[in-house]
Amino acid sequence: MATSPAPAPEAGTTPATTRRIAPEPGPTPGGRGVSARRVRTALPALAPVLLTVAAWTSSVAGGPTALLVACALLAWFAVRRTAVRELRSWRSVLWLPVVAAVVSAAHAATEVADGGLGTPLVATTAAAALVGLVPWLVHRARAGLVLRLLAARRTLGVVATRIVERDGARRRVRVPRAALRPGDEVLVRAGEVVPADLRVTDGEGMVTLERLTTRADAHPVVPGDVVVAGAVPRRSLVGTVVRAGDDTAIARVLRPALDAVRPTPGPVLPVPADPHGSAPGAPTLPIHRTTDSVARWAVPIVLAVALVAGLAHGLPHGAADGARVATAVLLAASPAAALVAVTSALGASRLRGALLGLRMKGTRPLRSARDIDLALVDPSSAIATGHPRLVEVLPMKGLDPDAALLAAVSVAQDVDGPIPRALASAARARNMTPRAVSGQSVAGGRLSALIKDMEVTVGAEDAFEAVPPTLRPEPDDDALVTYVGWGGRPTAMLRFRDRLRPGAADEVQRLLRADVVPHLMCSEPAAVARRMADRVGVHASEVTGGLDDAGRVALVAEMLDEGHRVALLTRDTPDPAAEQADLVIASTWSDAHNRELAQVETVRPEMAAIADAVSLTRHTGAVVGQNVMLVAAYHAIVLVPVVAGWVVAPAAALLSLVPLAGVLAGSHRISLGTGSAV
């Protein structure tokens, strides 16, 4: 769509297009302030590590005792604030390195006469390094998720082009995106990011959410469609703001994910007092309760194991040998890895879902989506573009086709929906002006209104008493058929056709690769849906047409009775079938009841949303299992040689970072989508 140049500013005014817009508040990646803050945060964690290396090097080289003591004291001084924050509860997993430091310091004190201070003081310094490094690693992993979400939010930009009326002329004004309000008219040039949810009033073409989802998922829009914030049109569009700011569809997805992963004040590694409690926010996955219980009892269990191992070595070989082994056991244990094995994966899953335009509601999708094998979708929106066009008007004998069309257009005016929009488009093409109506009502797919005291109805066959044979479509007719009539009888048949949505066939294949069979259910005749199904690779047996609300509910119940795990992509209007399905996915602008029942909300109500949700939850579940197995295998394998006295304390401290690093790395793969079809 061509755009005209912006008009010159009025005298005495500041050109709006050159006005400087203040950027949104928030950290700037790579900025000087952020870099300084990162250095201040990392210094208490990394300094003890460097001091541990220095102490170990000095011990091997036979350096002075004063240097070893200084390294230990400086290391604990560096982590003093972290220790105060994390050690508020006696169940904190960081009590283990603290106790190890006390034991090794006492060991060093008893070895003063013999001059064997090296290894005990290195262990004391290594314990301080664990106190500083473990919380910092977990915090950095969470902060990385927050930064990626903030980066996604910043793709919306900070300015927008608003169209205003001034002195009888339409002018373009550059304004902050935060200043947009519902009802504002906005111009979005080709390649710019849509700043708010817009209803297109002028222009058409393809738009994509690739900047957010990193996928080329272009789909067509025409006047009357809603384009969500964050989309990028390939041609210029003009639209009216319907939702702005935190009310946009993408904000409803990003904000909950940001709130869920944002670090909170207090300990980075809090241990729940009662993992089996029912308090808000308590874990709901059985494996989550298990890992929290392990972390909750880790301190007394490891202390007991260290005591037994110390006595077992100390009684026959001396107190020094017992203290050495006990210190190694205390440093080798890694309950922090068990504590974050599930939570880190869930946080990464929420981030990945948000970047895909999905709002994952807690752990509910994990319990619902992993075993899904059947997806129920409406082809009118999931396969077709949702933009049918009128191709033919077949009236009763003696009735003018334009008169029948004008009656239908008049009844459907100011009503939102694919058929009303198609009727309005046909009226504009014929320069028709709708007549004045009164008593307009919308009930399901039936529209009715009074035109000069005559009730006129637009709807499917079941909206009328009887359809004469001359108005019935041919058995193999694959067009969308709607009737217009008055007096309870149809007087004309309106035939519409729709195009396939680009990418629908690929989405069907994605579902099939995930072992999920798409099943099309719609209110249109089955012949229409079968024609579309054949073109996108859905088997004809997986099509059910002619369904009303009761039929949709019955179909879901039938599939559940057959043993299927059913996912349902709801329509925007109230969908009673959502109360039956195992996994419910609704658009963020869908009916409030649909969104309440949904485990997943999406800004893209397409089959790809089902494939993304299923693949993401399966990948998350697999990573959670891998994290837990890694932690369990580490303790089963490593603690044996440690208890046997074959591993020195500094090496044990280094080994304890292995399961934590593995857990955080595995969870990071979820956020990147690595290892899954998402």
**376-386 tens-digit pLDDT:** 998 877 888 77
Residues 313 and 235 in one domain: no
526: in domain: yes
pLDDT digits (tens, 9 = 90+) for 15-43: 433 333 344 444 444 445 556 666 777 88
Q: What pLDDT was estimated at residue 48?
A: 94
Residues 493 and 516 in one domain: no
Which residue type sits at 451?
I
Measured CA to CA, the distance from residue 374 to residue 511 in angstroms comes to 9
> What SS3 state is found at 200?
strand
Q: Considering 533, 568, 598, which residue would you say is the last residue of a domain?
A: 598
The dihedral built from the CA positions of residue 255, 258, 259 and 265, taken in this order, carries a sign that is negative
Domain holding 479, by residue range, is 389-497
* Phi (first) and psi of residue 265, to 5 degrees: -60, 150
Give per-residue burial for 110-131: e unless 16+ CB within 10 Å, then b.
Answer: ebeeeeebbbbbbbbbbbbbbb
467: in domain: yes
Q: What pLDDT was estimated at residue 116?
A: 56
Residues 209 and 336 in one domain: no
Say if residues 321 and 639 touch (Cβ distance below 8 Å). no
227: in domain: yes
Name the token pair of 621.
């579940």
* Phi (first) and psi of residue 393, to 5 degrees: -120, 115
8: in domain: no
Measured CA to CA, the distance from residue 473 to residue 268 in angstroms comes to 67
Q: What pLDDT was estimated at residue 181?
A: 92
Residues 36 and 140 in one domain: yes
Residues 165 and 124 in one domain: no
Name the token pair of 566.
């059913």
- Above pLDDT 90, what percent of the chain? 46
Cβ neighbors of 275 (< 8 A, separation 6 or more) are 282, 283, 288, 289, 292, 293, 296
Parts of the chain with a pLDDT under 70: 1-38, 112-117, 214-216, 273-284, 444-445, 675-678
Residues 527 and 488 in one domain: no
Question: Model-level pTM?
Answer: 0.81
Residue 532's Cβ-side half-sphere holds a number of Cα atoms within 13 Å equal to 34
* Phi (first) and psi of residue 381, to 5 degrees: -120, -30
Measured CA to CA, the distance from residue 237 to residue 235 in angstroms comes to 6
Q: What pLDDT was estimated at residue 279?
A: 44
DSSP-derived letter for residue 462 is: G
Measured CA to CA, the distance from residue 467 to residue 483 in angstroms comes to 9
Say if residues 608 and 510 touch (Cβ distance below 8 Å). yes
Number of H helices and number of E strands within the chain?
Answer: 23, 22
Residues 49 and 135 in one domain: yes
Give per-residue burial for 138-174: e unless 16+ CB within 10 Å, then b.
Answer: bbbbbbbbbebbbebbeebbebbbbeeeeeeeebbbb
612: in domain: no
Please, what is the angle between helix 607-643 and helix 286-296, to 10°?
A: 30
Q: What pLDDT was estimated at residue 123?
A: 93
Q: Considering 465, 497, 529, which residue would you say is the last residue of a domain?
A: 497
* Phi (first) and psi of residue 109, to 5 degrees: -65, -35
Residues 84 and 222 in one domain: no
Detail the DSSP E strand segments found in 282-408.
358-360, 374-377, 389-395
523: in domain: yes
Q: What pLDDT was estimated at residue 138?
A: 94
- How many domains does the chain fold into? 4
Q: What pLDDT was estimated at residue 619?
A: 92
What is 525-568 written as a DSSP string? -HHHHHHHHHHHT--GGGEE-S--HHHHHHHHHHHHHTT--EEE
Q: What pLDDT was estimated at residue 282?
A: 47
CATH number (domain holding residue 547): 3.40.50.1000
**Residue given tokens 């050690």 in the structure block:** 87
CATH number (domain holding residue 187): 2.70.150.10
622: in domain: yes
* Phi (first) and psi of residue 481, to 5 degrees: -115, 130
Q: Which of 514, 521, 533, 508 is nearest to 613 (CA)?
A: 514
Measured CA to CA, the distance from residue 468 to residue 562 in angstroms comes to 39
> What SS3 state is found at 133?
helix
> What SS3 state is found at 136?
helix
DSSP-derived letter for residue 26 is: S
Residues 447 and 482 in one domain: yes
Q: What pLDDT was estimated at residue 517?
A: 95
Interstrand relation of 374-377 and 566-569 (parallel, antiparallel or unpaired): parallel
Say if residues 55 and 122 touch (Cβ distance below 8 Å). yes
Phi-psi region of 631 (alpha: psi -120 to 50; beta: other; left: phi over 0): alpha
